[in-house]
Amino acid sequence: MTPSKIIIDTDPGQDDAAAIMLALASPELEVLGITAVAGNVPLALTGRNARMVTEICGRGDVAVYAGADRPLARKLVTAEHVHGKTGLDGIDLFEPARPLESKHAVDFIIETLRSEPAGTVTLCPLGPLTNIAMVLERAPDVVGRIKQIVLMGGGFFEGGNITPSAEFNIYVDPEAAKIVFGAGIPLTMMPLDVTHKVLTTRVRVERLRANGNRASVAMADMLEFFERFDEEKYGTDGGPLHDRFGTDPGRHRGGLVEGDRTSRKRPCRQGRRCRSFLRFVDRAPWPPVIVSEARVDFG
């Protein structure tokens, strides 16, 4: 079986780190590169965190590129209250051996999409969609070359995780989300309705730790720190592992959702319904979006 080619766009975050680790270990995926974006913590930390994760996994061959350090049109909102000051609190941090690549993340994505055969590369954004929107705005010719976008973001009936109704990744850069969702690219969305079914229960974390290798122990340590916020918030055994499904482009089943178009011509404002529920203004007819179902059985 030929591995699926993906680019992971990420703002690690312990849940992003878990998704990256699983992708790097999968024989079904070929990670062409990792691009960092500001989100859970500022860009200087997300770029370092992504490199730490690749080194922990013994995958120093995978290059990491730094991208946007702020949203397209507003101030950056971060989530240190969830992930800790570093974004990867819970493990012993270190300076990775491999430096960031000198090329900007947006340039890397554009050049890769142009050089790889059309329709073979999937983009897997796990954080705010700033880098991906910049790619689409700067290089419209690559839109038709993207196989699909598989992203973690948004929410329908589950409620929000940064406001009572807004999911963090969309909340941080709704202007970028507007561009990505309106581009007409095949898109699979992992909303909170899916990710809240994937809990880092104590039994699962301990089974992971029992593997004994460096990556498994590091992931267990990170998840034990990460889950504390949601355990207190929801009263559950473990917290949602939000980004795990964002790097599984071939494993989703779901239904097409036709978005609507509001007739009010005004910009998105922080906290308004358009920001919370992806109902963006001044849009061409909304392309169908596949909203994945969650069928989870980790034993």
Of 17-26, 35-44, 65-74, 220-229, which gets the smallest average pLDDT?
220-229
Q: What is the pLDDT of residues 108-125, one digit of tens each?
A: 999 999 999 999 999 999
How, if at all, do strands 187-190 and 289-292 pair? parallel
pLDDT of residue 252 exceeding 50, the answer is no
218: buried, middle or exposed (CB in 10 Å: 19+, 13-18, 0-12)? buried
Q: Over 109-173, what HEC string results?
A: HHHHHHHCCCCCEEEEECCCCHHHHHHHHHCHHHHHHEEEEEEECCCCCCCCCCCCCCCHHHHHC
Please tell me the CATH superfamily of domain 4-200+241-292, with its number. Answer: Ribonucleoside hydrolase-like (3.90.245.10)
Band of the pLDDT at 33, cuts 50, 70, 90? Answer: very high
Annotated catalytic sites, by residue? 242
Average pLDDT over all residues of the chain: 81
Q: What is the pLDDT of residue 82?
A: 86
pLDDT at 103: 98
Residue 6: strand pairing partners: 31, 122
Mean pLDDT, residues 150-163: 85
Angle at 215 between CA 213 and CA 219, to 5 degrees: 120
Higher pLDDT, 206 or 11: 11
How far is 218 from 131, CA to CA, in rounded Å?
28
Return the pLDDT at 268.
43
Integer Cα distance of 139 and 98 in angstroms: 29
C-alpha to C-alpha distance for 105 and 64, rounded to whole angstroms: 8
Count Cα atoms within 13 angstroms, Cβ side, for 299.
5
pLDDT exceeds 50 at position 284: no
What's the rounded mean pLDDT across residues 126-134? 98
Any residues with CB less than 8 A from the CB of 113 and at least 6 apart, and which? 121, 135, 139, 142, 145, 146
End-to-end CA distance of the chain: 26
Going from the C-alpha of 32 to that of each of 55, 63, 113, 154, the distances in angstroms are 16, 8, 11, 26
Q: Is the pTM of this model over 0.95?
A: no
Q: How do the domains of the chain map onto residue ranges?
A: 4-200+241-292
pLDDT for position 277: 39
What are the pLDDT digits (tens) for 253-264? 444 443 333 333
